[in-house]
Amino acid sequence: MSRYLALDYGDKRIGVAVSDETRTLATPQPFLPAKPFKPFLASLKILIKEKEISLILVGMPRNMDGTYGPAAEKVREFIHHLKGNILVPLQTIDERLSTVQASRALHEAGHNAKSQKTRIDSAAAQIILQSYLDSQQPLT
């Protein structure tokens, strides 16, 4: 069975999370450096193949009123580059407050602000993916 992958785009780091084979549980993966793009893309392609990814969800930043700002334009550009280089379907998903939720969860797990730095992006990707998984019909 295939899995889903979520990406939380950032200028420096891209958070990554992958579902289990039943698509019920999201697990954070090590972040991928955002730049340069070619090494990021190579790492992503390896992950897609190894985990048998059938769908990639990309967090789309939105303002609290639902509008899109400058960060959304960066994500759109990122998606445009991905679409030209991978065959797996891409879908955007609202990521409002995912980083805030991830920070709180990491803090509650005992991680201080310094140790959160390398975990926050993938924790946010995990929240994005888990919310998507929770909204889907269970596989039978």
Q: Judge whether residue 89 has pLDDT over 80.
A: yes
Mean pLDDT, all residues of the chain: 85
Instruction: Write down all domains in the chain, each with its CATH number in brackets.
Output: 3-135 (3.30.420.140)
The whole-number pLDDT of residue 8 equals: 94
Q: Report whether pLDDT(108) > 80.
A: no
Longest dimension (CA), the chain: 42
Alpha carbon 4 to chain centroid distance?
10
**CA 71 – CA 61 distance, rounded (Å):** 6
Residues 29-85 have pLDDT tens digits of 999 999 999 999 999 999 999 999 999 999 998 777 878 888 889 999 999 999 989
Using the predicted structure, report yes or no on whether residue 137 has a pLDDT greater than 90.
no
What is the percent of the chain with per-residue pLDDT over 70, rounded to a whole number? 79
Residue 138 banded pLDDT, cuts 50, 70, 90: low
Across the chain, the runs of DSSP E, i.e. the strands, are 3-8, 13-19, 26-33, 53-60, 90-94
Find how far residue 69's CA is from the centre of its chain. Answer: 19
